[in-house]
Amino acid sequence: MTTKHRCRKCGAPPVINMPQHRLALCAEHFPQWIVEQTERFIRKYHMFTHEDRLLAAVSGGKDSLSLWDILWQLGYTVDGLYISLGIDDGTGYSAESQAKADQFAAQRNLKLIVVDVPALYGESIPQMTQRSQRSKGKPCSVCGLVKRRIMDQIARDNGYDVLVTGHNLDDEAATLLANTLIWDADRILRQQPVLEAHHPALRRKAKPLFRFYEREMAAYALLRKIDYIYDECPYAEGTRSIFFKQLLNRLETVQPGAKLKFYLSFLQARESGLFNITAEGITDENMSIGAGGKPLYTCPSCGQPTIVPGLCAFCRLVG
Amino acid sequence: MTTKHRCRKCGAPPVINMPQHRLALCAEHFPQWIVEQTERFIRKYHMFTHEDRLLAAVSGGKDSLSLWDILWQLGYTVDGLYISLGIDDGTGYSAESQAKADQFAAQRNLKLIVVDVPALYGESIPQMTQRSQRSKGKPCSVCGLVKRRIMDQIARDNGYDVLVTGHNLDDEAATLLANTLIWDADRILRQQPVLEAHHPALRRKAKPLFRFYEREMAAYALLRKIDYIYDECPYAEGTRSIFFKQLLNRLETVQPGAKLKFYLSFLQARESGLFNITAEGITDENMSIGAGGKPLYTCPSCGQPTIVPGLCAFCRLVG
């Protein structure tokens, strides 16, 4: 940190400088600021209230454990959900990340629900991937499908009102960029900090950390002494998501704040009516309408929503 | 060129391989292909017909001279317009680029209209920039304003039907990316291969080369032995446009065809109704409606369109 920056709250030497906010903060005031800002975003984007029962999806990484920590400090009613994916090929990734989540919950006397994918479905994510047409060798698409399904199901079956995830700005901006570079209208329109439950089997989803940079969340976790898994998933290397994060980091270097501007101006453009959000094509009473205005059908096997009529992608994979 | 590629038309060793089209072509068939494709795009996007009188904006660079060459080969009625910007600080940029345009026209017995900015307005573009609030030191914004104005005026005053420019895919994709990264709705909606004349003082604008990569146009100019100015404008270095081209080139390296996909999927999304194109805010009979659905006013001094009521930006600059 250069000497020209001082903590705006107390004048002490700062631990972080955030050029996009023209704000530097010290080791004491930065974590406080993160918590206060999170509360502000929860209200501003109408994510949830203190009356809601929240379920936080925790991976054992810095973002999800920090989110749980922040919501706990803010006094929300929030349990954790850890999904064990069976990714253990030499790295012990799943076992180690579960240990971090377990330890975090135990230290704070919080409830952690654990779903073990191999025990439940007889196969780990890498094993399911080998059978699937979904991903060309990469388990990310199968993994996303299975995790989304389990999260939706646990939230619904256990009476939670809102599912919260630890996506940070780098995650959200990279996804938006990836979808925008191919102008995938459905995915672009579905991208929001709060996704309402568009189907009876779903619960509202919220991403309270979506305005924080990844490096801010890393600093938060460090300062709060949260013991998280440092390693990325062994399958993350070389993914599109990491490539788009790198592109945005290059942009951020020459235009500080560009990443935040990209995401917030998207939300603003959406709000100002840049996009045509219609609800065309509803022909069946079994349908709901998704976030992008497209119809959602109900899977005849599991009762969860699906974007095409018939068995949903999850039932086709696991069923 | 690796030995596995062969010209698709004749099997000869190729001069270029275009992975996005899975197409390699030889020195004879590649320029032919460029000309045929251009004709196809002119028809597909309803750019103009052989009845139209065209005015090609030529800078002396590879894209605009190649465009003029292609349209001439295709038998269109097309004159050239060279705008001398007075950029000569040590590099002789304007003088050299004009010499290239002059020579090209003379060799083919084509008509070139020359507009000399310093002679006409008493100031070069760099001099205007020093007085202007528009650009922070960079003349690009002033230059764009002045060139657009002169092109519109010459086209209208000399009875041309369509103004054509040599923008290639790299140009168009970089502009789209720059505007999308800040979700500038007006500029996003204005980006099209053909821009209809939305105001009586304007003429239709078309970009027949918008689907060709920059390297394809360089290869075309080389094979056609077009003598063009190799140097970039001395002010181009470090511009946003060049930065965004570099970002897209990185993307293209890992995903061949990504640049074309980005632009074409944008046009497709636009066509499929992703965007809300309205014509709100029309309250005055002096207004027309621009490409993005926003009103266009008429400048009381010069009669050209302007996006805010009162004197247009050009009249405020040149006065």
**What is the tens place of the pLDDT at every residue in B207-262?**
999 999 999 999 999 999 999 999 888 888 888 889 999 999 999 999 999 999 99
Assess A178–B contact: CB distance below 8 Å, yes or no: no
Q: What is the mean pLDDT of residues B86-101?
A: 88
| Inside any domain, residue B148 | yes
Assess A272–B contact: CB distance below 8 Å, yes or no: yes
pLDDT surpassing 80 at residue A155: yes
Q: Are B166 and B61 in contact (CB under 8 A)?
A: yes
pLDDT surpassing 70 at residue A284: no
pLDDT score of A281:
45
Residue of A nearest to B173 (CA): A181
DSSP code, position A13: P
Assess B265–A contact: CB distance below 8 Å, yes or no: yes
Residue of B nearest to A267 (CA): B183
Higher pLDDT, A236 or B107: B107
pLDDT score of A227:
97
pLDDT score of B282:
47
Q: What is the mean pLDDT of residues B287-310?
A: 82
Contact yes or no for A183 and B250 at CB 8 A? no
List of chain B residues whose C-beta atoms are within 8 Å of the C-beta of residue A266: 183
| Percent residues over pLDDT 90 in chain B | 72
Cα A96-A165-A217 angle, rounded to 5 deg: 70
**Residue A308 pLDDT level (bands cut at 50, 70, 90):** confident
Higher pLDDT, A290 or A106: A106
| Inside any domain, residue A68 | yes
Residue of A nearest to B280 (CA): A273
pLDDT score of A307:
85
Q: Give me the CATH number covering residue B151.
A: 3.40.50.620
| Percent residues over pLDDT 90 in chain A | 73
Per residue in A215-248, pLDDT (tens digit) is 999 999 999 999 999 988 888 888 888 999 999 9
Contact yes or no for A261 and B181 at CB 8 A? yes
Assess A230–B contact: CB distance below 8 Å, yes or no: no
pLDDT surpassing 70 at residue A280: no
The per-residue pLDDT of chain B, averaged, comes to 91
| Inside any domain, residue B151 | yes
SS3 assignment, position A79? strand
pLDDT score of A88:
80
Q: Which two tokens stand for residue A107?
A: 């230290």
Point out the least confidently predicted range of A242-246, A302-306, B16-20, B207-211: A302-306
Ramachandran region of residue B86, left (φ > 0), alpha (ψ -120 to 50) or beta? left
Interface A-B: count of C-beta contacts within 8 A: 58
Dihedral over alpha carbons A261, A263, A264, A265 (to 10 degrees): 70
List of chain A residues whose C-beta atoms are within 8 Å of the C-beta of residue B262: 181-183
Helix and strand counts by DSSP (H, E) for chain B: 12, 11
Q: Give the total number of structural domains in chain B.
A: 1
Read off the amino acid at residue A283: T
Q: What's the predicted TM-score (pTM) here?
A: 0.92
Assess B279–A contact: CB distance below 8 Å, yes or no: no
pLDDT surpassing 70 at residue B285: no
Distance from CA of A273 to the nearest CA of B (A): 7
Distance from CA of A240 to the nearest CA of B (A): 9
Contact yes or no for A258 and B188 at CB 8 A? no
Distance of alpha carbon B78 from alpha carbon B69, whole angstroms = 10
| Inside any domain, residue B283 | no
Closest by alpha carbon to A217, among A93, A56, A31?
A31
pLDDT score of A304:
87
| Inside any domain, residue B1 | no
Distance from CA of A312 to the nearest CA of B (A): 26
Higher pLDDT, B97 or A302: B97
Chain A interface, best mutation among B181, B245, B254, B271, by max A CB count within 10 A? B181
Contact yes or no for A265 and B183 at CB 8 A? yes
Point out the least confidently predicted range of A108-122, A270-284, B149-163: A270-284
Q: Identify the domain containing residue B145 by its residue range.
A: 27-275
pLDDT surpassing 60 at residue B1: no
Residue A174 has φ and ψ, to the nearest 5°, of -65, -40
Read off the amino acid at residue A244: F
| Inside any domain, residue A21 | no
Contact yes or no for A247 and B251 at CB 8 A? yes
Distance of alpha carbon A304 from alpha carbon B304, whole angstroms = 57
Q: Which residues contact A45 (CB under 8 A, 6 or more apart)?
A: A193, A194, A206
| Inside any domain, residue B3 | no
The per-residue pLDDT of chain A, averaged, comes to 91
Contact yes or no for A183 and B278 at CB 8 A? no
Residue of B nearest to A264 (CA): B182
| Inside any domain, residue B317 | no
